[in-house]
Structure formats: structure tokens, C-alpha cells
Structure 1
Amino acid sequence: MKQYLKLDEWSIIEDSFDPTTHEISESIFSIGNGFMGQRANFEEQYSGASLQGSYMAGVYYPDKTRVGWWKNGYPEYFAKVLNSTNWIGINVFIEGTALDLAKCNVKDFVRELNMKEGYLSRSFVATLEDGKEIEVKTIRFVSITRHEIGAIRYQVTPLNFSGSITVVPYLDGDVQNKDSNYEEKFWLEVEKSAASDLSYLTLKTKKLDFHITSIMAFDVYKSDEKLDIEPSLTEREKYVASEFTVHAEQGIPLTLYKYVANVTSRNYGLGELVPAGKNSLLAAKAAGFEALLAEQAVAWNEKWKGSDIIIEGDVSAQQAVRFNIFQLNQTYSGEDDRLNIGPKGFTGEKYGGSTYWDTEAYCVPFYLSTAESDIARNLLIYRYKHLEKAKENARKLGFTKGALFPMVTMNGEECHNEWEITFEEIHRNGAIAYAIYNYVNYTGDKSYLGQYGLEVLVEISRFWEQRVNYSAAKGKYVILGVTGPNEYENNVNNNWYTNRIAVWTLEYTLEVISYLKANEEAHYLELADKLKLQDEEMKQWKTIIDNMYYPYDEERQVFLQQDGFLDKELIPVKDLAPEHLPINQNWSWDRILRSCYIKQADVLQGLYFLGDRYDMETKKRNFDFYEPLTVHESSLSPCLHVILACELGYQDKAYEMYLRTARLDLDNYNNDTEDGCHITSMAGTWMSIVQGFGGLRVKDGELILHPFIPSHWKSFSFKVMFRGSRLKVNVTDNNVTVTNETETSVSIKVYDQSYTVSSLGEVQVLRSAVTI
């Protein structure tokens, strides 16, 4: 772990250039707007190590699944979001010599991600081999108000000479994914045109026929004078460029403004791509770079109003949480219910950019609390729209009814290529059911149950009904051959969390049925007829609920992660020699599977989801048993341990785990940030503060807060949207202040005492007067 970034409350700053950390920085300094994203690659050519990455949301490719032998029901492909047209490219030549930071002396290098206003800047002084020295200053962003637009200001100033500077803005579609099988390229050219006013390039995927059109235009200024440029034009396969040469004078800046529109066939007909892209591009260019940048600042200010977390007294923690919130807001806007959240967002290729159960388990709480309810609702509707595909997935595995939502997906089909995940990590179904409960419980929007929720719950329950076995030996129902959240265990029997979330889903489905019968009877009868819902199957669900087997150790009084867990040698992680860690990089898979070590919360995942079902002593015994065996080698692990540690009063452990989740990417804890940032873990960082340190829960329609403050913080505050109101919660050593920023009054509970926060009102609770 190498800490090379400067601490700053609102910016991520790299103040020197180190090629060995460049790919990490490309991930960390990524920009996006929910519709497209761009790694922090240099605009000019760079011959050093780099992962080129330009991504368009929802555009993907079904790459070949690579397995040694086929299995019935196995996915036919592994989906991946594609590296698409490199739209940022601007090559620079100083009197014929290419500017390449791998081949010149670089000083005064500063790269900054301005999170407050939403842009990436870079500046440096480069000395070329012939001694010529230039200063370069760049700013770029993708607009969150004009979703198809990216803009760049690229300024070059000769410092010790006057001479020719050649600039080549271009669009390059001859790209590939780093993780492509057999080095295959996925794009074909459709059409292109290079012209002096604007140039465009249209590509299509070799499969699925996604089309993307990128269109560029530019203006050039010497000092404040706009130049009349007649560029030389280049067209070659999947590439268009404009080239011009200017006599630059020492000390006088030459500035290129490059505007690009990226449009796809997801949103336009094939014949509309070029006209639509031109319209967007010309409107942006007419507005001008400075106006677009000002729009960006205003729009980001609005996002921060609803989602900012302020920490006083700990700059490292402040920077980290804002970085995580910033990336979450760049990754998903919630405006398109066909889109979801990939574990790397727009920052890299790993995991293919597909949707995992991470969304429902970790991301939904963030969007529930920081945006209008329709944003989180769209995440649920995404799964509803895939219900038929989920039913197909269950049939492929041999089930006659029910739905198994995929572990990894783009369009509802399973597209994961590891059998122990694809076939066995079925607990993902429970997370999707839980997200429905979480949404309704938080928002109070029970209309969702009849509109969408019941259909999903019934089909998931039907899957669980068939997936259980009745064990005559135990006289109980069991679930065999699964992988729990701890992926360092495969093909186990009776994973406690899987058994528990299956039963909870059956219970909740019956509860929703009861509610709809009582409150929307006519609608319920229509749904029951549509679903062919029978009393007999509901009776069977109740039988399973009453007779499920849960592995348990009577001596320790803890839930066992699975049958046979105590057969393992229980050696705490702290007793491992440092050279063994991380075990996933130092041990064979065989050794990991036979060990007691836990990748991420497993039993504790259930105690987090179903926390209101278990008392503190039960949580304490299980936390004390499992946390010392947890290596936290999943980015999803630390945050749940923060929340449970806060609840149990383990303040030092909570803060230790908070730093691990909050600065996971900034400090490259897992030595893998070069592959992209961990977007869903970033949601876990938000959860760590709001649900952990803030103690936020919702029960019986009431918002509950039970905050504590880390000992070296002076204060912290966060904002949550809750049933039409936006509350700011500020916590100090002395008091908790809840301010209502809206005109909708709301009932809350702080340290078990009930209050009403009136319209634009405030409630203050003295912490010294309560038992914490």
C-alpha cells in the first residue's frame, strides 16, 4: 500500500508523476455522469503502462465463456461493458517531436479531481530531449446536465522557445478490452467523416448490434485570439482526425477546446445517431467551454446538497467519504431504469461492468437516502423487468417454477463464468427480495408491492420451495450445495445465511400477500390469478418456514456458517504471519477452501439485514467469533463490520474498519485499484457513517438515530431524504442536532426518545443526558 495522494477535503491531488502508480491514478481520477465514463488517461499519447478506458452505459458484449468442459445450464457467455471510442485523444508535437510523458523530463506535475465542481485537471512542465520546455494545463469533464457531452480545454505554452506546435484532436475506435479473450476486438466500423467543422465516427458491436456515434468539434485560441484553422484531415479504419500546426510564441499559450458528443443506439434509431449527436454537439459548442463548466459546478452543488457528509477534525476521513460519494453520483443517476450499477462503475473493466447482488445489498440504501425515491425505485424496476429472464434461468437449472435472478447480468440472463458462483451463490435471490422490503420500509411506498413487488417475491419464493430438501435424518428442511457470501467456501451444505434469508423471503412474501388481501383485494385477486397462486403452495412455504434447519453451536451459542465449520482449525487472522496476507494472493485455492478464513461477512450479513430479529448478546457472540477469522479480502466486507461494531459499542474496531472501507481505493488496500475502483464498496462507506456512526434505522415508519462520534472527530454531519423531508443530522461530543431543510414535518427517534421535527424546524438532543 503506497499513499501518494495529498489530503484535501474537496479534491484528490497527485503532486508528482510516478509511472508506477499511473494506472492506479487512471482509476481514481476517473470521471462519469451515469451515462458514460472515462478513465484518467492522458489526452496526449503515452507509451508507458496504461489501461485505456472509455465506457458507455448499457453497451456490452457477450464474450465467449472459457471453461474446460461444458455443464448443463452453464452460461453461454460472459458479458462485459466495452472499452469504446477513445474520444479524449489530442496528440501534440513540438517541432515534430511527440509529447510523451514516458519519454521526457516531467516536473511540477499536478493532477486534481475537483469533486466539488466535477472536473479533472492536470498541469505539468515537460522538457523534451532537445531541451525545449513546455507547460501544459488541461481540464476535462463529462457533463451531468448534458449527458452526451464531454469537453476538454488543453493549453500548451512554450517556455524557452518559439516554434511550431502541431496538434491532432482525434476519435479512435480501434480499441480493445484488456480482459478480452484471445485478444479479440469487439467493434466494426459503420461510417466516418472527417471535416473541418466537425468529424464523426460510428461503430457497431460484432454481436448484439449496439451502435455508438462519437462526434467532435474544436476551437483554437492563441492567447485570447480565436484562430481561423483549416486542418488537414485524416480518415482510416475506425479513426478520424484533424491536424493543424501553429507557430507558437514563447510565453504565449495555445489553447484547444475540444467538444465531443457520444450517442448510442440504446437511445436513438440508427438513422438518428449522427443528426442527434450533431445537435447535442453544436449546442454544447455554442454555449462554450466556460459556460459548460459553470453548468457543471451548479449541478454538482445540487448533488452535494442532498448527499454530502461533513467530518470535522479528520481530513483523511473527510476526503475519503467525499470521494466515495462523488464516484457513486458519477456512476448512477437513476434516470434510466434499464441501467444498473457495475462493481467498477466507469473506472475499469474488471467484473465486466455487470450487475451483481451488490446493488441490492449495498447501493440501494445510499440512493434511498440521498435522492428522490424514484431513483431507488428504478433499481428495483430493473430487476422486475428481468423477471422473465430470471424464470428462464431457473428452468435452465432444472426447476419447474420460480425465478433465480442471475449473479452477474446485463439483460437478466446469467453471464458469470465460475461454476461455484453461477450455480451455488443463490443467496443473491434473498438480497433482491430484501431490497423490496428495504425500499417499502424506508419510503412507505406500499403501492410498489402490488405494482411490481409481489410478482418478484412470489417467483423467488417458488424457487426456494424447490431448492430446499427435506432431510429425514434431521427431520428438517435443508439447502445443499451452496456458496454463501464467504466465497472462500464452495459447495457447502446449510450455509446459515442462505437458509435464513430463504426463510425470511418466504415470511415476507406471505406478509405482503396478507397486506394486499386486506388493503387491495381486487388487485390482489388479479395478481393471484395472473401468478396462479395456490393456497397449497403457500401452506408449503409455511411448512418450510416452521421446519428449516439452521446449523448452531450450543457450546459457543453462535450460528455456524455451515455444516462442519467447526471441523476447521480455528486460527485467528492476527496469528497469521504477514507474508501470508492477503491469502488470495499467497495461498492456493485448495488451501483457502480448507481454511477457516472468511472473505467477507457471511453469518454477519444476516445479522445486518435482519438486525431487528436478534438481541445484542446474539450479535455480540457471533461478531466476536467470526470477525477475528475474517480477512476482509472483499471490498464489501469492512462496512458491515463497521455497522455491527458501532451497534455493539466497539468504537476502535468500527473506526479501523471505516478507514479500510473509506480509503480502500485511495490507499490501494487490496493492491488492485489499477483495475478500477470498488463502486459498491463506496456505498458501503456511506453506510458505515450513516448506519454505523449515525445509527440510522427505520422501524414502524419512524426514522431512528443512535449516533456515536469517533474520539478524535470534532463533529460529523450527514443528510438523508426520508418520506418527503430532507434532514441534516449533526453529531458532536455534546449533542445531536436534527434540522429539517424542507416543509414536511417528520417523526424521528433519537436515543430511543421520540421527537417531531417540524417544517424547517430543528431538534437538539444532549448526548450527556442519554445512555449511549
Structure 2
Amino acid sequence: MNQDYIIPNNWSVIEEGFDASRVESSESLFSIGNGAMGQRANFEEHYSGETFQGSYIAGVYYPDKTRVGWWKNGYPEYFAKVLNAPSWIGINVSINGEQLDLHACKKVENFRRELNMKEGWLSRSFTATLQNNMQVEVNSKRFLSLELDEVGAIKYSVKPVNNNATITFQPYLSSAITNKDTNWSDKFWDTLQVSHENELAFIQAKTMKTEFHTCTFMQSQLYVNDNSIAINLDAQKSENLVSFSYTQEVKKGDVFSIHKFGGYTVDRNHDKNELISAAKKTLKTATDLGFNGLLEKQKKSWGNIWEMADIAIQGDVKAQQGIRFNIFQLNQTYLGKDSRLNIGPKGFTGEKYGGSTYWDTEAYCIPFYMATKDQQVAKSLLEYRYNHLEKAIENAEKLGFKNGAALYPMVTMNGEECHNEWEITFEEIHRNGAIAFAIYNYHRYTGDYSYIPEKGLEVLIGIARFWQQRATFSTHKNKYVILGVTGPNEYENNVNNNFYTNYLAQWCIKYTLETIDKVASEYNSDYTRIMAKTNLSKAELEQWETVADGMYFPYSEEHQVYLQQDGFLDKELITVADLDKSQRPINQKWSWDRILRSPYIKQADTLQGFYFFEDQFTTEELERHFDFYEPFTVHESSLSPCVHSIQAAKLDRMEQAYTFYLRTSRLDLDDYNHEVHEGLHITSMAGTWMSIVEGFGGMRIKNDMLSFTPKIPKQWDAYSFKINFRNKILKMHVSQDQTTFTVEGNSDLQIMVNDKLITIQPNHLVTV
């Protein structure tokens, strides 16, 4: 059973009624972030029930020593942990001497929580009856500022309902934090200094090993019935905690509020000796604006994001809520302001996967950021990989590759491989190809070639060298084969000739050879510099070509399909439809041994190749492969439904495309995979955007221009979206009977719609 407690709403995620069993799931779903930091939706007041506390700072990590009972050459020495950072959100609340704790209250009524995606804030309200019979109404609202991205703000109000009350607010900072997801019981943080000065408090701490210096800070303002009041504070501190107590006699029906401002300054952005003074400066700006002033700026910032990124769906509230939730979380995770950062698969919502960079960025996220932001944001993501090229070469050297061959890591924080499962680390090498594909895709979409001669070609050469060395010549087949790999389907390990991997390897080499020729003829000085730097010879290029031209692809004449890998037909081919439902999800019910021998596919694998290289196959070939592989696909990866939705739409199977769309857009909201308590699936959310724009909208780049084949699910009245294509903003609106296009700006845009050329003049509506 999927969960279904989230109330459908066009612009908000809403939960009503308090249920302790949902607390950890809701902490994930209602997470907030601003690209520089983020936090799970933990309660501000003390909570003694089951909870997963999490506050995270972008780019701050810890190298947790890999925990395995054996060691092999080339094995990563550590797993990069996204760190639970010192917490600044806490406010202990006591009423007539009794602590407010929802887990211990006699009664909790009217509990409501809302994540307002349009304006970028989280609120919570409830009426609680404490063990001392005091009844109070509580309202809180908080957000992480996009404008001042080192600071967040909380407005927390308590109203006594049945009597006068003595209420104490105790805002605090704490560095007594641990990670849920840890291999050893290492201490991750070293608290350096706990201090306070007037109404300001600071905890300076550094991470062990990586030595990131941080300052966590807070300052509060107090109000009765919205009138500012001054209260003498009682300060307390210990080795990893600092708190202020403010006590006030509050009449029945009056409202006592605290506005708390907190956040982090980090030595990634400031001198480590200046972190307190940077915090003071940030706090002054925040408190001068006040909670309401900061909130107004927040609404404006989110308004600007939605102006470009929104996808509006009419007639289907669950579908609308799903896509906006995905777009919202992507923007909370990464805004493209800092090229040292990337998009972790859980963003700021949990600790699983180490919060690091995966191939998801190149395969799924770059199209979203290219189309909904300035192209520089996508270019920053490409530059991130160029900056890690030396490390990718080192990673390949550890595995025995030579001569500048580069193997990008499966998981990384700083370019080093830090994934600790051998069948992924050593074998899931297709990640290398996704990085080359992203370079091609960026140029194809933006028309900007500058990155390639400046940086991208060096990345392509390192990748092509890896593929040429990784292939083995089979005298038996008289072809080049690639042995011992894991494809995108992680339910098969150590297989030979995974079609997707072999196809990608061939494509990468050929694309690199073409690119070298283009740079040689059009960017001569870059070409000379790169050839000298890489020592690339004519003989080596010929070797590449021999491997690419001689690449082997397993094929079944009987089924007329490329085989996912050499031994796929040796499996017992029972489709998912014939699998007992009680056995699902198989990754939680079966042994790994049983999964590896089964035909079940975690996510698009052969079909991932058909997705990337669609124009190299006919629609009939896609249909054959889709009909062969989808029935074996269990979609137990968050990255699976989106690719299948796009392909089902291309094949005019709109009911299936719609079902896959709902599954990808509501994967977390409805908790399809029963794991949302661990955090959200951020990178797959970009795939949800692609399901609409590339799936239903049919957007492609053909002959260097935008092309569309619009379709619409029967469940919708209409949908619309905007894309930024080469600095022109195109808006597309699709209803059941027509499609309209407008372009902003002052120059025409030529596009293809259903294979017909159309010219759109600025601010003129064109109807198809």
C-alpha cells in the first residue's frame, strides 16, 4: 500500500492530523533548503518520539572510513558522508513548568502542517493539552532565505487557551549531533568554541579530517500580540550547547511569539578566523529586515523562480501537486550559484547515498537546469567535472589504466571515488559515458560550443582513452567486448557486454574523434594546447577508431532486439505481471543472489540507450525493445518511471505514459518504494520534468532547432510550460484540442511542430 495522507493541493503539500508513525516520513516530505543549506522538517520544540534529526550545509562532508571485511586494489578508502550539522532550529518551550512535547501531551488536536511551494515556507499549527491540563494553541512558520542564503528564520507563537500561563522560550544551538548513516561511531565534529554576546550566540565547530570550519549562530526577538517586548535573558552554555531562556506571564488568549534567526557561516565562503564577524553581519541584515521583511523577499525570490520553471496542469490536482513538488525540491537543492557544488540524490533531505554527486546530474538534471535557468547554470555543472578531471585520471590509474585515461567516480564529493560496493565502484562504468553525453547535450541545446575547446575536449579525451583500454578484443567473436560490468540495471552485476555500456562506449569514442576534428579546424590554438597537454598521437586515434568500429552488441534474432547483456536469455523469463505481488518490492523481499539470477530490471537499461540516442533507432525498433523489456521492469529505481513515460508517450501509449508520469511525480508524496523516511529522491525529480516536456510535449532538438510533437493525457484539461532556448523564452500551452506557442523578447523563433516549420513572432500567439 502506498501512503495517501498528503492532501492534494495545487501549490502546497499539506498534512492534517497528528500521527507519530508519520513523523519521519513528513520530516522528509516537508524539508526546506536554499541551495546553500537545508534541513529536514524537524519540530522546533522538543520531541521525545521517533525522529530523524537533520540539518545540512552544502559542500561540507566527512570521509567515513569504508567498512568492508576485505580490501582490493583501487578500492575507495572512504565514503563521503553528508554531515548532520550543528542545529540552530531548536526552541524548548515550557508552560507552567511543563515541557511542550507532542509525544507526551494528553491530547493533540487540529494538527496541520503546510509546505507552501509558491512562496517557499513551512508552517505548522496545533492545539495541545499538556499533562498539567494547560491547553495551548501553537503556530510556527519557517523558511531558509534565498536572498540571504546563510540565514533562516522562524516565527513561533504560543497562545494559552484555558488559563493564564507562565511561558518560557529557550532558543538554543547544539553541536551534540550524530549521523544516522555512519559506518563507525567516529566523531564527525569538533566543537571549538561556544560563545554569546548580548542577544547573539555562536558555536564554532570544525569537521574532523576534512577540517571545514563553521559557525552556527542565532539571535531572537520577542513579541506579545505582535508588539515587540524586551525580556531579560538567562544564558546557559556547555561544551556543545548554548541557550537563552525568556520567561513571560501570558494572559489567556494573548499570543507570545519568538522570532528566531539562525544559520551558518562557513570557511568555504569566508576566512575561517572571520566566521563570527560574518555571522554578525548576516544577523544584522536579517534582524533589520525582520521576519516579515525577509518573508516578503522570500516570496519575491520564489516568484521569480516559478515565473520560469512552473509547469501548470489543469484538471488534475494530484498531477499538478506532483510536478510542482519536484520542481520546488530541485530548486531548494541547487540554484547554480556555486560551481563547487552539485546535486546530491537526497539533496538536503536525508543522509543516504552520502549526499554526493552521481551520474544522475548529467543524465537527468542538466536538461532541467538548461531549460529553466540561464545556460550558465548547466555550464557550471559541466565545469564541476572538468575541475575533477585530474582526480578521474587518478581513479583510473588505481584500477590499472594508463596514459591519461579517466574514470569518473560513481559517487564523489571532491572528484575521488567514494562508493563502497565493488560491483558499482569497479563495474558501473557507464557513468563515464553520461558525462560525455552531457557535453554533447549542452552544445546541442544551447548552441554554445565554447566549453568544448576551453575544457570539454580534455574531458572527452580522458573518457575515450578509458573506453579504448577497457574494451578487450575477442578472437572468438572477432569483435571488441566489454567484460565484467554493471549496467544501469543494478539487479545484474558482473555481466558481459551490457548493450547500453557498449553502445555508449562506441558513441563516446566516435563523438570525441569528431570533436577533435572540429576543434582542429576551428579552434587552432586550443587544439595545439590540448594536443601538447594530452600527448595525443595519430596512432592512438587509429586505435580508438578500431575499437569503436569493432564494438560487439549482443542481439537476439529470435526476438529482434539487442540483448541487455550476453546471458539475458538464459534467465527464467517470467514477467512482472506474473510475479506474486507479495514479493514486491523485490529489493526488500529477496536475497541478492535471487535478484541477480532473476530477469527483473530495476530501471531503464537497454531502453536508457534508446532514450539517449533515440534518433539512431527507428520508432519500430523502440517499440520492439519497449515491448520486450518493460514487462520485466520492476521500476524499483527512482530513475525508472520517467524514461518509460517519455518512451510510452512517443509510442502513443498515453494511458501507460500517464501512469508512469504519476509514479515519477508522486514517488515520494505517495511513497511508492516505502523509503521516504530516509529522504527524498531529488535527482529523479528532474526526470519528472522531462516526462512532461519531452514526453507529453515531445520536445527534441532536430536540425539545430526546437521540435515538438504535443500530446495530452485524457485526464488533463490542459498543461503549459516555459523553456529558455538559446536566451529566448518560449511558452507552450497544450489543451485537448489545440497547442499554442508564444515567444518573449524581440526576435522571431523558428520551431518544428509535428514536423512542420513554424515561425513565432515575439508576443504573438501561434495556434496549431
Query: Could you tell me the TM-score, scaled by structure 2's length?
Result: 0.99
Q: What residue in structure 2 maps to residue 563 of structure 1?
A: 566
2-side partners of 1:541 and 1:648: how far apart?
36
Q: What residue in structure 2 maps to residue 382 of structure 1?
A: 384
2-side partners of 1:6 and 1:157: how far apart?
27
2-side partners of 1:248 and 1:185: how far apart?
42
Q: What residue in structure 1 maps to residue 175 of structure 2?
A: 173
2-side partners of 1:564 and 1:182: how far apart?
39
2-side partners of 1:364 and 1:638: how far apart?
18
Q: Deviations over 1:205-240 (max 9, x none)?
A: 111100110111111011132111211111111111
Asked if the contact 2:696/2:711 (under 8 Å) is kept, the reply is yes
Q: What residue in structure 1 maps to residue 486 of structure 2?
A: 483
Q: What residue in structure 2 maps to residue 17 of structure 1?
A: 18
Structure 2 matches for 1:604-683, cutoff 5 A? Answer: 604-683=607-686
The 4+ residue runs of structure 1 with deviation greater than 6 A are: none
Deviation at 1:181, TM superposition (A): 2.2
Q: Deviations over 1:617-673 (max 9, x none)?
A: 110000000000000000000000001111111111111111110100000000000
Q: What residue in structure 1 maps to residue 128 of structure 2?
A: 126
Asked if the contact 1:56/1:84 (under 8 Å) is kept, the reply is yes
Q: Deviations over 1:707-751 (max 9, x none)?
A: 100012100111110001111110011111111122243221111
Asked if the contact 2:742/2:762 (under 8 Å) is kept, the reply is no
Structure 2 matches for 1:485-634, cutoff 5 A? Answer: 485-634=488-637
1-side partners of 2:755 and 2:765: how far apart?
18
1-side partners of 2:381 and 2:369: how far apart?
9
Q: What residue in structure 2 maps to residue 749 of structure 1?
A: 752
Deviation at 1:185, TM superposition (A): 2.8
Asked if the contact 1:403/1:462 (under 8 Å) is kept, the reply is yes
1-side partners of 2:644 and 2:513: how far apart?
31
Q: Deviations over 1:690-723 (max 9, x none)?
A: 0101101112220011110001210011111000
Deviation at 1:320, TM superposition (A): 0.5
1-side partners of 2:199 and 2:135: how far apart?
31
Asked if the contact 2:64/2:184 (under 8 Å) is kept, the reply is no
SS at match of 2:184: helix
Q: What residue in structure 1 maps to residue 316 of structure 2?
A: 314
Q: What residue in structure 2 maps to residue 768 of structure 1?
A: none
Q: Deviations over 1:473-513 (max 9, x none)?
A: 00000000000000000000000000000000001101111
Q: Report sequence identity in percent.
A: 57
Aligned residue pairs: how many? 765
- Letter of the structure 2 residue corresponding to residue 281 of structure 1: L
1-side partners of 2:184 and 2:75: how far apart?
21
- Letter of the structure 1 residue corresponding to residue 235 of structure 2: L
1-side partners of 2:356 and 2:502: how far apart?
26
Q: What residue in structure 2 maps to residue 33 of structure 1?
A: 34
Structure 2 matches for 1:64-75, cutoff 5 A? Answer: 64-75=65-76
Asked if the contact 1:164/1:248 (under 8 Å) is kept, the reply is yes
Name the stretch that deviates more: 313-322 or 185-194. Answer: 185-194
Deviation at 1:196, TM superposition (A): 3.0
SS at match of 2:122: strand
SS at match of 2:408: coil
Q: What residue in structure 2 maps to residue 232 of structure 1?
A: 234
Q: What residue in structure 2 maps to residue 58 of structure 1?
A: 59
- Letter of the structure 1 residue corresponding to residue 438 of structure 2: A
2-side partners of 1:731 and 1:200: how far apart?
53
Q: Deviations over 1:86-135 (max 9, x none)?
A: 11000000111110000111100110000000000000000001211000
- Letter of the structure 1 residue corresponding to residue 76 of structure 2: P
Q: Deviations over 1:128-179 (max 9, x none)?
A: 0121100000100000111101000000000001021111000111101101
1-side partners of 2:30 and 2:263: how far apart?
21
The CA RMSD over aligned residues, in Å, is: 0.8
Q: What residue in structure 1 maps to residue 45 of structure 2?
A: 44
Asked if the contact 1:745/1:758 (under 8 Å) is kept, the reply is yes
Structure 2 matches for 1:249-288, cutoff 5 A? Answer: 249-288=251-290
Asked if the contact 1:172/1:238 (under 8 Å) is kept, the reply is yes
- Letter of the structure 1 residue corresponding to residue 300 of structure 2: V
Query: Could you tell me the TM-score, scaled by structure 1's length?
Result: 0.98
1-side partners of 2:14 and 2:616: how far apart?
45
Name the stretch that deviates more: 741-750 or 319-328. Answer: 741-750
Q: What residue in structure 2 maps to residue 93 of structure 1?
A: 94
1-side partners of 2:210 and 2:385: how far apart?
21
2-side partners of 1:49 and 1:652: how far apart?
40
Q: 1:413 aligns with which of 400, 412, 416?
A: 416
2-side partners of 1:697 and 1:51: how far apart?
42
Deviation at 1:537, TM superposition (A): 1.2
2-side partners of 1:43 and 1:224: how far apart?
20
SS at match of 2:197: coil
Deviation at 1:337, TM superposition (A): 0.6
SS at match of 1:657: helix
2-side partners of 1:473 and 1:181: how far apart?
45
Q: 1:243 aligns with which of 242, 245, 248?
A: 245
2-side partners of 1:727 and 1:183: how far apart?
53
Structure 2 matches for 1:202-213, cutoff 5 A? Answer: 202-213=204-215
- Letter of the structure 2 residue corresponding to residue 643 of structure 1: I
- Letter of the structure 2 residue corresponding to residue 752 of structure 1: D
Deviation at 1:518, TM superposition (A): 2.0
Q: What residue in structure 2 maps to residue 769 of structure 1?
A: none
SS at match of 1:181: coil
Structure 2 matches for 1:395-406, cutoff 5 A? Answer: 395-401=397-403, 402-406=405-409
Asked if the contact 1:725/1:745 (under 8 Å) is kept, the reply is no
Q: Deviations over 1:3-47 (max 9, x none)?
A: 001110000000111111111100000000000001100000001
Structure 2 matches for 1:418-457, cutoff 5 A? Answer: 418-457=421-460
Asked if the contact 2:645/2:661 (under 8 Å) is kept, the reply is yes
1-side partners of 2:719 and 2:19: how far apart?
34
Deviation at 1:367, TM superposition (A): 0.2
Q: 2:717 aligns with which of 714, 719, 722?
A: 714
Q: 1:349 aligns with which of 345, 351, 355?
A: 351
Q: Deviations over 1:500-536 (max 9, x none)?
A: 0000000110111121122112321222122111111
SS at match of 1:334: coil
Asked if the contact 1:724/1:744 (under 8 Å) is kept, the reply is no
Structure 2 matches for 1:73-84, cutoff 5 A? Answer: 73-84=74-85
2-side partners of 1:504 and 1:51: how far apart?
44
Q: What residue in structure 1 maps to residue 691 of structure 2?
A: 688
Asked if the contact 1:580/1:587 (under 8 Å) is kept, the reply is yes
Asked if the contact 1:261/1:280 (under 8 Å) is kept, the reply is no
1-side partners of 2:302 and 2:231: how far apart?
34
Q: What residue in structure 1 maps to residue 185 of structure 2?
A: 183
Name the stretch that deviates more: 538-547 or 46-55. Answer: 538-547
1-side partners of 2:735 and 2:441: how far apart?
29
Q: What residue in structure 2 maps to residue 215 of structure 1?
A: 217
Deviation at 1:191, TM superposition (A): 1.1
- Letter of the structure 2 residue corresponding to residue 350 of structure 1: K
Unaligned stretches of 5+ residues in structure 1: 766-772
SS at match of 2:533: helix
Name the stretch that deviates more: 737-746 or 6-15. Answer: 737-746
Structure 2 matches for 1:351-366, cutoff 5 A? Answer: 351-366=353-368
SS at match of 2:60: strand
Unaligned stretches of 5+ residues in structure 2: none
